[in-house]
Amino acid sequence: MQKSAPAVPTPGMLITFEGGEGGGKTTQVARLRERLSKAGRDVIVVREPGGTVISEKIREILLDKQNTSMAYTTEVLLFQAGRAQIYREIVLPSLAAGKMVLMDRSRDSRVVYQGMVGGFGRELIDQLNDISTKNTLPDLTFLLDVPPKMGLARQTANGEVNRMELQGMDFHTSVNAAYQQLAKEDTKGRWVIIDASADLEAVEKEIWKKVSEKLTNV
């Protein structure tokens, strides 16, 4: 009796959500997860910083409003430490198992916040990102673009104010511009800019359209 060929594993897919504060990243990650799960996909959702026991402890330190004296180098390395842990513990094993991984922020956030706006240098942050992610790039990155003033107003209305949101408007405007620059420099087609000032349902439908197209072409 002829043996059947072993099943070919479905390749995993990494989708990240990026953008300034108040763009609705967490909400849209949850909505996409629901759609994918209904479509029969095995989905893992993680956030940065956070996602594991160790990474969540690092998150608490990074976002604590009391930690205003944190040295900038400390911040940079803590973010990378949290990322290294989550990639090795969750992201990379999940991708290897053919699962879809949705991330609320990832390596591009560090390029923007610390490499471009913070002045640490894009090249150095990219090198650190390659180490912490084992040279892993997202398959698809959604930039949820919202005017900084609107985004911060949303965060305040939701009572979600952390150390990052205490930065001045000039900082958040620079973050927005840096994200736009990164997306425009993309030559691999992984960045998708979404107008996050639109209502939640419209944003959700646009994201699902792009994800469906990506899945069809896998």
- Residue 46 pairs in a beta bridge with 103
Is residue 89 within 8 Å of residue 46, measured between CB atoms? no
Q: What values do phi and psi take at 46, rounded to 5?
A: -140, 160
Taking residue 42's Cβ as centre, other Cβ atoms within 10 Å add up to 14
Per-residue model confidence (pLDDT) at position 95 = 97
Consecutive 10-residue runs of the chain (218 residues): their mean pLDDT?
Answer: 43 94 94 97 94 93 89 93 96 96 96 94 96 96 95 77 69 95 95 96 98 88
Is residue 80 within 8 Å of residue 126, measured between CB atoms? no
Structure tokens at 187: 């030559």
On the 0-12 / 13-18 / 19+ scale of CB atoms within 10 A, 106 is buried
Instruction: Round to whole Å and give the CA distance between 188 and 179.
Output: 16
Round the CA-based radius of gyration of the chain to a whole number and report it: 18
Per-residue model confidence (pLDDT) at position 193 = 97
The residue assigned the tokens 């960045």 is 191
Per-residue model confidence (pLDDT) at position 140 = 97
Instruction: Give Cα 186 distance to the centre of its chain.
Output: 16
The amino acid occupying position 62 is L
SS3 for 198? coil
- pTM (2 decimals)? 0.89
Structure tokens at 4: 């059947």
Q: What share of the chain is helix, strand, coil (3-state, %, to 5)?
A: 55, 10, 35
Q: Which of 3.40.50.1980, 3.40.50.300, 3.30.830.10, 3.30.230.70 would CATH assign to domain 13-216?
A: 3.40.50.300
* Of 15, 23, 21, residue with least CA distance to 145: 23
